């Protein structure tokens, strides 16, 4: 059974005509839960106390303890700030109608807002952040990150672990990730500057830009794709848009595939990367629809297609290139 604690200063009246602002302290617990209706800020605090400051507009603050959790509920708060001790293992925060700011935390965090942005400074643990309609901005998350919004952009400067980022109607920009990246956008571009693991991107209406990374798999319904410095296998497809792929030197990890329904494809292959190329262009009005800078990959007309096939740098995993309504360029990387 829950044991609710009401501060006597607040219990004298259930509501106020105006706004009341005050600060209180609660003995710390390993896990902290905060629920409110307005703007919320989570900040680092003292070792043994959870300190909160709140501006109310008509209801008391409730504090309850159960097991490892201490819950602070301010259902009618206009603004609230909660200081989380460094010894805390987790914090879960929910606001029904305000933005959330969090930074300087040394624990895992789960942040959810029904109507506002989420802004994250530095958090040492794993993070799950969900905004119904707002933006999500991240400076640094040391652990894994799951970021989701129904209608705003997602921007992250650095995430130490894996990233799972989804927006229904905005852009996704991940500058640096230490692990695997999974990014989805229902209506905007996706950029991944650098990733320590495999990158998977899906965009319904936007360009895709991926920097140095391991294996890459990306799909766009209507947008260009640019891959700069992929070390492993590549699978990239777009219905409308060009593809530019710069492959890194070394050994290809497996079969790669590049295809567009309407646009050019340009692939740059370094001198010490061995691949077998099989390119086909459905637009066969000219043999110049495929341009190969490698003598071992000759171009010819075959039926209703222009094709190019051959080994580069001694051969290796298969690189398939399929284009239409554009030109395929197979270039030497200098």
Check whether 5 has a pLDDT greater than 50. Answer: no
Check whether 59 has a pLDDT greater than 90. Answer: no
Provide the domain count of the chain: 1
Instruction: For residue range 101-126, list pLDDT tens digits in order.
Output: 999 999 999 999 999 999 999 999 99
Check residue 17 and give its pLDDT: 40
Average pLDDT of the chain?
A: 91
Residue 58 pLDDT level (bands cut at 50, 70, 90): confident
Is 306 within a domain? Answer: no
Check whether 73 has a pLDDT greater than 80. Answer: yes
Q: How much is the average pLDDT of 52-58?
A: 89
Is 197 within a domain? Answer: no
Is 52 within a domain? Answer: yes
Check whether 152 has a pLDDT greater than 70. Answer: yes
Q: Which domain covers residue 66, as residue numbers?
A: 1-143
Is 269 within a domain? Answer: no
Q: How much is the average pLDDT of 59-77?
A: 93
Q: Backbone phi, then psi, for 103, in 5-degree steps?
A: -165, 155
Check residue 18 and give its pLDDT: 53
Check residue 252 and give its pLDDT: 64
Check residue 253 and give its pLDDT: 62
Check whether 277 has a pLDDT greater than 50. Answer: yes
Residue 314 pLDDT level (bands cut at 50, 70, 90): very high
Give the least confident one: 43-52, 168-177, 216-225: 43-52
Residue 1 pLDDT level (bands cut at 50, 70, 90): very low
Instruction: For residue range 153-201, list pLDDT tens digits in order.
Output: 999 999 999 999 999 989 999 999 999 999 999 989 999 999 999 999 9
Is 139 within a domain? Answer: yes
């Amino acid at each position: 059974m829950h044991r609710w604690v009401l501060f006597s200063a607040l219990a004298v009246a259930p509501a106020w005509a105006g706004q009341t602002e005050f600060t209180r302290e609660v003995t710390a617990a390993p896990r902290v839960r905060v629920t409110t209706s307005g703007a919320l800020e989570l900040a680092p605090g003292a070792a043994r106390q959870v300190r909160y400051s709140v501006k109310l507009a008509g209801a008391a603050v409730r504090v309850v303890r159960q097991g490892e959790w201490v819950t602070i509920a301010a259902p009618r708060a206009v603004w609230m700030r909660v200081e989380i001790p460094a010894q805390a293992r987790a914090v879960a925060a929910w606001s029904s109608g305000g933005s959330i700011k969090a930074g300087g935390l040394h624990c895992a965090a789960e942040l959810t807002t029904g109507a506002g942005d989420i802004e994250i400074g530095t958090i040492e643990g794993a993070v799950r952040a969900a905004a119904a309609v707002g933006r999500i901005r991240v400076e640094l998350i040391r652990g894994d990150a799951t970021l989701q919004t129904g209608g705003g952009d997602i921007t992250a400067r650095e995430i130490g672990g894996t990233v799972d980022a989804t927006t229904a109607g905005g852009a996704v920009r991940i500058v640096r990730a230490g692990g695997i990246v999974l990014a989805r956008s229902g209506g905007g571009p996706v950029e991944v500057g650098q990733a320590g693991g495999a990158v998977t991107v899906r965009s319904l209406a936007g360009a895709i830009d991926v920097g140095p990374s391991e294996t890459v798999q990306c799909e766009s319904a209507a947008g260009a794709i640019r891959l700069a410095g992929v070390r492993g296998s590549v699978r990239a497809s777009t219905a409308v848009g060009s593809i530019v792929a710069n492959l890194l030197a070394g050994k290809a990890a497996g079969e790669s595939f590049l295809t567009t329904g309407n646009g050019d494809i340009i692939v740059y292959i370094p001198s010490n990367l061995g691949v077998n190329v099989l390119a086909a262009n459905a637009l066969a009005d000219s043999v110049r629809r495929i341009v190969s800078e490698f003598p071992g990959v000759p171009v010819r007309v075959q039926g209703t297609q222009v094709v190019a096939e051959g080994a580069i740098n001694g051969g290796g995993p298969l690189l398939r290139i399929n284009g239409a309504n554009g030109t395929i360029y197979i270039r030497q990387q200098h």
